């Protein structure tokens, strides 16, 4: 039983780390977009669509 509890705790920790990394990436991309809005660079458009594709993949699992 202890092994199972340790495994669940480790998986939960890994999930929390991945969630935090994703949140940091989103914050960085938001800041990059805000700083790049004045220039309106063409590279900004593909990054806006990534979140949409990510959400679709999660829905299909």
13-59 pLDDT, tens digit each = 999 999 999 999 999 999 999 987 655 555 545 555 555 555 555 55
Q: How far apart are CA 6 and CA 35, in angstroms?
A: 43
Task: Report pTM.
Answer: 0.51
* Token pair belonging to 22: 């994703």
């Amino acid at each position: 039983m202890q092994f199972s509890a340790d495994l669940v705790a480790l998986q939960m920790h890994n999930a929390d780390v991945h969630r935090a990394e994703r949140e940091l990436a989103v914050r960085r991309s938001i800041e990059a977009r805000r700083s790049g809005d004045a220039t309106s660079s063409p590279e900004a458009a593909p990054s806006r669509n990534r979140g949409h594709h990510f959400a679709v993949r999660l829905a299909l699992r």
